[in-house]
């Protein structure tokens, strides 16, 4: 399981708002590209958005589904790393006033495959997620003023 967190100089509400605004994903989530379509029910549980993932010439269409949401504090997404791996990304936002902490936990959805790829993928995902939360902080903090 890749886990990381970051303190941000913005309210928890502002940070959570960015997490559920899929149009911000290409700005902060490393590997996220163009958003192609968003369900009208987004971000309700079961809703999806279609997007492009990858870098350089290795870009593929994909989608992400909301598994669970507790407004303002938790967003759990089912994400794909095609063609074989499904993962669950869980974001939690804690804070009050003008500071908050955002945590991101990502783990393979299938335990068997996850156990095989975890030693290789966890360190890579940790670095990616750390950098993504740093970029999210820039987005959120620049909008806080």
| Domain locations along the chain | 2-143
pLDDT value of position 18: 96
pLDDT value of position 126: 73
The two three-digit tokens of residue 5, written as one number: 């967190």
Q: How, if at all, do strands 32-38 and 85-96 pair?
A: unpaired
The secondary structure element, H or E, covering residue 69 is: strand 58-70
pLDDT value of position 77: 95
Residue segments in the chain with a per-residue pLDDT below the cut of 50: none
pLDDT value of position 139: 95
The CATH code for residues 2-143 is 3.30.530.20
Distances (CA, A) of 23 to 1, 89, 102, 106, 107: 26, 18, 19, 21, 24
Counting beta carbons within 10 angstroms of the beta carbon of residue 115, is it exposed (0 to 12), middle (13 to 18) or buried (19 or more)?
exposed
pLDDT value of position 115: 58
Please say whether the beta carbons of 48 and 67 come within 8 A. Answer: no
pLDDT value of position 2: 78
The residue count for the chain: 145
């Amino acid at each position: 399981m890749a886990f990381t967190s970051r303190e941000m100089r913005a309210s928890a509400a502002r940070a959570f708002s960015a997490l559920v605004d899929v149009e911000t994903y290409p700005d902060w989530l490393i590997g996220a590209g163009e958003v192609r379509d968003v369900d009208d029910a987004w971000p309700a549980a079961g809703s999806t958005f279609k997007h492009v993932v990858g870098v350089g010439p290795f870009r593929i269409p994909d989608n992400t589904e909301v598994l669970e949401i507790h407004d303002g504090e938790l967003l759990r997404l089912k994400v794909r790393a095609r063609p074989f791996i499904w993962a669950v990304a869980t974001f939690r936002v804690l804070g009050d006033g003008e500071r908050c902490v955002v945590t991101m936990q990502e783990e393979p959805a299938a335990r068997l495959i996850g156990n095989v790829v975890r030693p290789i993928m966890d360190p890579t995902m940790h670095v990616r997620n750390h950098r993504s939360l740093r970029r999210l902080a820039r987005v959120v903090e620049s909008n806080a003023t």
